[in-house]
Amino acid sequence: MKSPLANPASLTYTEDAHAAYGQAMAAFNDERWEDGRSLFSELRRLFAYSRYARLAALRLADIDFEQQKFSEAMTGYRNFIRGHATDENVEYARYRIAKALYLDNNVTVLLPPQEERDQANTRDAHRELKRFNERFPRSRYRIDTGYMLEVVTQRLVRHELYVARYHLLSDNFDAALHRCDDALKNYPGSGLDAEALVLKGETLLKAKRNDEARVVFEAVVRDHKGAFSIVAKRFLKHMATPSSAGS
């Protein structure tokens, strides 16, 4: 099939590049991914010195993204950033890298629950999203990246607490406390602070470190509301009974 880019009616170089980009975008908008891939690739070859070649590189990464080929998409976006560090679309490319990491890590029915899985990809997403928000504090993507950062932060905290509970069941109190403290220190404001503190207090109580446990439970009651505040009050009430005073 003759390429629609090989138009014998030559315009100026920039006009030809613009027309070629429009044709490729038509395929992209119609979700004709392979046609779009072919057209954008040809545009980059024929008009390598135009700004449309740079845009075509982004769209090729977008095609991989839309087809859920997140690893390939991230490679494309990173190559764009390396090659065009001052381009105005670097913000977009970094946003899409962060979103690709986030989406690539989503829960599926074929995988164990999120907190039971290896968190390497989640940590990568957390790092990329946090870096994006710090670098582009007024970004038009800030609402989306803020939401994604909240989600991955809670995933990481839940994993820490899942491992802490595993250690607690094995009476490995030091390891359980370490995981609780890591969750509180590394991911402050996750919305799961009260849960982490109650688990820490429970671990201290079972390790017979009652005075430390009491301080933690009192902090939960003082600083938090909701279900875990109620649980902390129950622990304190239990600790105040004569039968538990010496435990």
SS3 content of the chain, % helix, strand, coil (to 5): 75, 0, 25
Rg (the chain; Cα; Å): 26
Of 50, 49, 17, 22, the C-alpha closest to 36 is 22
User: Is the CB of residue 220 less than 8 Å from the CB of residue 184?
Assistant: no
Q: If DSSP codes are grouped into helix, strand and coil, which group holds residue 5? A: coil
Give percent of the chain above pLDDT 70. 88
Whether pLDDT at 46 is above 80:
yes
Could you report the per-residue pLDDT of 103-161, keeping only the tens digit for each?
987 744 345 555 556 688 899 999 999 999 999 999 999 999 999 999 999 999 999 99
Q: What is the pLDDT of residue 119?
A: 80
Residue 199 contacts residue 164 (beta carbons within 8 Å)? yes
CA–CA dist 190, 186 (Å, integer):
10
pLDDT tens readout for residues 152-185: 999 999 999 999 999 999 999 999 999 999 999 9
Residue 24 contacts residue 43 (beta carbons within 8 Å): yes
Q: What are the pLDDT digits (tens) for 200-233?
A: 999 999 999 999 999 999 999 999 999 999 999 9
Residue 142 to residues 133, 137, 139: CA-CA distances in angstroms? 7, 7, 5
Which two three-digit tokens encode residue 194?
Answer: 């009260």
Q: With the C-alpha atoms ordered 86, 89, 91, 96, is the resulting torsion angle positive or negative?
A: negative
